[in-house]
Every structure is written in C-alpha cells, then in structure tokens.
Structure 1
Amino acid sequence: VVDGLKGLPEAITAVYPRTTVQTCIVHLIRNSLEFANYKDRKALTQALRPIYAAASAEAAEQALRDFAERPWGAKYPMIVQCWQRAWEHVIPFFVFPPDIRRVVYTTNAIESLNMQLRKIIKTRGHFPNDEAAVKLLWLALRNVLAKSVRSTFDWKSAMNQFAILFGERFTQAR
C-alpha cells in the first residue's frame, strides 16, 4: 500500500516487480474533502462511499461517473478529478476480497508502525554497527506486532486470503 507520492510507485515496482501498488483510500477521501466546505463534508463522505465500497472496479468506476453527474460532482468537480487522477492506484483495491479490503484500505497502521520505529531509532542516536540497529528494530517490531497491529484488524481472515492470493509470497511469521 503506497500513499500517493509522485514517482514512488514506479520506483517500488522497479525494485519489487511483483508488488501491487495501491493508494490509501482514507487519504484519498481526506484529500477529496479538502476541496469541500466544512458543512458539506459529512454528506460528501456518504456520497463517496459507493465508489470505494463497490464490489468491483467496474462498479466503482460507474459509481464515480454517477457521483460526477449528480449535484455533488457538479458542485465539486475537483473531487471527481482527484479520484480520476488517482484511479490507476485505486483499482488494485477491488481485486481483493472484503476481508483484505478491511486491512488495506488505509495506510494508518503502516504510518503508525513507521512512527514507532523512527522513535526507537531517534532516541538511540548512533549504533556501533548495522547489526545493533537491526536487532533493535527487530525487537521493536516484535513488541509492536505482538500487542497492537494484528489485534487491531481482523487479521486472521485477511491472513487466510493473503495466503490464497499470494501463495509462496506470503509467509506467516512463527
């Protein structure tokens, strides 16, 4: 899951060619709402829901067209353009079954994990060697994953779906 940084999706797929690049749906919604009046935001989020909750990419594309043709699309054409610009990185989301969608629709968990890892590294300053840094990160990951990340989501259902979709590419940590 990659949140819309220009050039980054191409760089990732160059290094990891089998990577699926997808934008963060939550950030796309938040970015869309930047174009709207505050009083309209709640209604707009409800109007955008059929797009990202669609059963398939085709249904989502139709929902986006419907949104564009309705009053909200006419009042806020920049929201439609925002979704259209990001569409290439939105449609991979619809390949996944609902169990995985609940896990990957936002990058907030990834950002939280990155923040915690940066905090650990920042407070330590310098390391005598790379092995010391790797060991510290491994311990931090073990502690974070044991208590928060996996329990936050319906991780077991998603794990089963990842194992089916990605086969040997998905390995369960022991």
Structure 2
Amino acid sequence: MDTLKLNHTQIQAAVDQLTSQQDGVNRLLEMAMNSLMKAERSAYLEAATKGNKANGYRSVTGYGIGDSLSLQIPRDRLGSFKPTLLNVMKDQTDSLNELCFELYAKGLTTRDIESITETIYGQHLSKSQISRITSSLSEAMQAFRDRPLNEYYPILYLDATFVKTKRERVSSEAYYIALAVLPDMTREVIGIYNAPTESASFWDEICQDLKRRGLRQVDLFVTDNLTELDSTIEKHFNAAIQKCVLHLKRSILNKTKKQHRLEMASDLNAVFQLDNREDTKEALLKRAQDVSLKWRNYYPHLKRLEDGDWLSYYATYLDFEYEIRNMIYTTNWIERLNKAFKRTLKIRNSMPNVESVLTLLSKVAIDMNSSTYRHPVSRFQKSHLFK
C-alpha cells in the first residue's frame, strides 16, 4: 500500500480534530512519542554495525496531562539501543519524586499527595510508593546534617522543639536545633539532633559531633535553661553563655498567682532593663536581690535570684555591645525556626519514626538556609560585638 501523504493544512486539521476530543492531547502525545522513538531506532539500525535489527517493543507508562500515557519502547536484538526520550521520562520521574518530597515537607499527608499526583499526572502513586520516594531522600538529608562546619561562629543558638514520635508507643520527643550566626551576620542551621531523654551525656555527644565536623571556636552560646547544657559547653568550648531571659520570666510568671502577675512582670522588667544602654551586671544582680527579698515569702523559689553565679548566665548580654543585645538575650530567633517546623508537622498527629522527623526538619532547615537565613541580620562584625 502506498504511504498516505498529507499536506500541512490537512495534518493541522487532523491534529485539531484529535486534540479537540476528550483526552485527545494525551493520545497525540502517545502517537508522537511512539513514532519518534520508532524513527530513532530505524536511524540507529541503519548506522549500526551489521547483524543488529529491530526486536519488538516493551510497554511502559509515562506521565501525561491528567492521565497516564501508554508508550511502546522500541528494542533491538543486541540490546544497545536506548531512545533519547527515555532521558526525558527519567527527568519526569525525578521531577515527580522531588514534587512528592516537597509536598510532604510542606505538611501534606501521603493521601493528599496520592490525590494530587493522580489529578495532575494521571499516575496513581500508592502510599507505599510515596513513602519510598520520601525515604530515598533521607540520605541527602543525613548528608546535610553531617556536612563539614566552619571552624568559627560568633554566636550559636541551641534550643529544642517537641514532636510526637512513635517508638514502641507515641510520645513527645525533643529534637535539638543548633542555629549559628556567621561572621558576616548571616545565619545557618548547623545541627539537628534527637534524644529520648535530655542528659549531660547527650549534650556531650552533640558538642563532640560539632567538633568532629570542624567547629573549633564560638564566642557566645545562647540557650534555654536546658539540663546540664552550660557545664557541657564549658567543658568543650571557651565561650560565654547567655540563657534566655524571656524563658526565665515566663517560668517565674507561670508560678505566680494571678493577682500578683502584673506587679511581678513589672518587677522583672525592672531587673532586666534591656533598653538601658548604661546597665551593668552588678546593677542587675542588685535589682534581682531586691525582687527576691520582696517576693520570697510568697514564692520561696525566687530566693535563687540572689545567687549571683546562677543569675550571671542570664546577664551575659551586658558584656556585649548595646547594639546587639536585643538579638542575644533571648532564643527568639531559633523559636521562629521551631514555628516553621510546627507548620510542617501540624497536619500529622504523630510521626512514624525518628528518621522521618529528622528528614522533615532537615528539609525545612535547608529551605531556611537558602532563603531567610542568607540575609545579614546586622552590619556589626566580630570586632564590634564586644565592649
């Protein structure tokens, strides 16, 4: 039979008629891709060495527009022919994998992702397939957590966020975050860790890991009042420690009767005069003693405000230039990061294991490092940080 020959106008009319039908675009894509691969094989065999020839087809499924495509991959007898379009299909698969992980990292459940991928690509991905996709990227997230560090960071924030995680049963577990300020005053998440219980040995492991990855010097650690953390830091680094003033205030006010809270808050603000450029540690400690004497009959635990060694950890910010005190007297910066973690995790009632939490937190941290934290937070360099 003679080959049917159509002019450009006739071909355009046939294409228009086909694409106007329901799912016509996908059917046209199938025909075009199958024809291109068949033509590519013919050209390959013409240029190939003698003895090779066509050897049928194998069926695969590609991604179309709201539906899947049925494609026929041409084969040759020697098994050496690989259509160029296979690379395009591999790119499609890689892109779909990345999309699934991005959606998962933004807080969507596996069921949500199943629905989205089927609607967009016409490709049904099961919960187990999506789980395998997200798990396949956990190695990249592990590499992020294990990456080499700079030798020096002026400021390092340490804090914890709690996530419901399943081991033998579901319980809230702490995930500890290390957020560093670089010499150019940009920021970077440099550590994400999990431990079922907080202890001196756990903090020792974190410090050893930071040093193993290259960290040698930090000028200031900013932390909450985490168990045994201050003594462990002092063991590993010659650095000042600032404990979060806001956490201390909240802790005191939470243990104060409702009728006393307004006055107590005013007294605590008088102790920590954050807007007083001329304030000193000695003056702060004296004001704290006065507050203790005023309230300790009602609240005996406030007697600790008279302990200069203990309270000095909350007054370290006064050793630094006034211009940066508002960024070091509290762990607010890292708490903003914790809020980003919560937004990602809030849809899920609990996480299936520790690794899934670490993977998601790592992805959020990478996004923050490449966007929010790449902008300097201050013009001050190291020489301007200290009095």
TM (normalized to structure 1)?
0.67
Please report how far the alpha carbon of residue 116 of structure 1 lies from its aligned counterpart in structure 2 after TM superposition.
2.9
- Other structure's SS at 2:325 match: helix
Q: 1:46 aligns with which of 229, 244, 266?
A: 266
Alignment of 1:18-37 (within 5 A): 18-37=238-257
Look up the equivalent residue of 2:302 and give its one-letter code.
I
Match of 1:111 in 2: 335
The alpha-carbon distance between structure 1 residues 99 and 125, as it changes in their structure 2 partners (threshold 3 A), is same
Alignment of 1:146-161 (within 5 A): 155-156=377-378, 159-160=379-380
Higher relative contact order, chain-length normalized (CA < 8 Å, sep 6+)? 1
Match of 1:170 in 2: none
Look up the equivalent residue of 2:340 and give its one-letter code.
Q
Please report how far the alpha carbon of residue 24 of structure 1 lies from its aligned counterpart in structure 2 after TM superposition.
0.3
Residue pair 2:223, 2:242 contacting (<8 A) in 1 also: yes
Please report how far the alpha carbon of residue 115 of structure 1 lies from its aligned counterpart in structure 2 after TM superposition.
4.7
Look up the equivalent residue of 1:112 and give its one-letter code.
R
- Other structure's SS at 2:242 match: coil
Alignment of 1:21-170 (within 5 A): 21-53=241-273, 55-70=279-294, 72-81=295-304, 84=307, 86-116=310-340, 125=356, 137-145=365-373, 155-156=377-378, 159-160=379-380, 162-165=382-385
Partners of 1:79 and 1:144 in 2: CA distance: 39
Please report how far the alpha carbon of residue 93 of structure 1 lies from its aligned counterpart in structure 2 after TM superposition.
2.1
- Structure 1's consecutive aligned runs of 4 or more residues displaced over 4 angstroms after TM superposition are 117-122, 133-136
Please report how far the alpha carbon of residue 4 of structure 1 lies from its aligned counterpart in structure 2 after TM superposition.
0.7
The alpha-carbon distance between structure 1 residues 161 and 7, as it changes in their structure 2 partners (threshold 3 A), is same
Please report how far the alpha carbon of residue 60 of structure 1 lies from its aligned counterpart in structure 2 after TM superposition.
0.5
Partners of 2:363 and 2:333 in 1: CA distance: 22
Look up the equivalent residue of 1:165 and give its one-letter code.
L
Which has more helix, going by share of residues? 1
Give the stretch that moved more between structures: 92-101 or 28-37.
92-101
Look up the equivalent residue of 2:233 and give its one-letter code.
I
Gaps of at least 5 residues in structure 2 are: 1-221, 346-350
Match of 1:9 in 2: 230
The alpha-carbon distance between structure 1 residues 161 and 31, as it changes in their structure 2 partners (threshold 3 A), is farther
Partners of 1:140 and 1:74 in 2: CA distance: 47
- Other structure's SS at 1:21 match: strand
Look up the equivalent residue of 2:298 and give its one-letter code.
K
Gaps of at least 5 residues in structure 1 are: 167-174
Identity of aligned residues (%): 23
Partners of 2:233 and 2:280 in 1: CA distance: 25
Residue pair 2:241, 2:313 contacting (<8 A) in 1 also: yes
Please report how far the alpha carbon of residue 134 of structure 1 lies from its aligned counterpart in structure 2 after TM superposition.
7.1
Partners of 2:286 and 2:296 in 1: CA distance: 13
Look up the equivalent residue of 1:28 and give its one-letter code.
L
Partners of 1:78 and 1:87 in 2: CA distance: 13
Partners of 2:296 and 2:381 in 1: CA distance: 35
Aligned residue pair count: 151
Look up the equivalent residue of 2:372 and give its one-letter code.
V
Residue pair 1:2, 1:23 contacting (<8 A) in 2 also: yes
Give the stretch that moved more between structures: 33-42 or 75-84.
75-84
- Other structure's SS at 2:243 match: coil
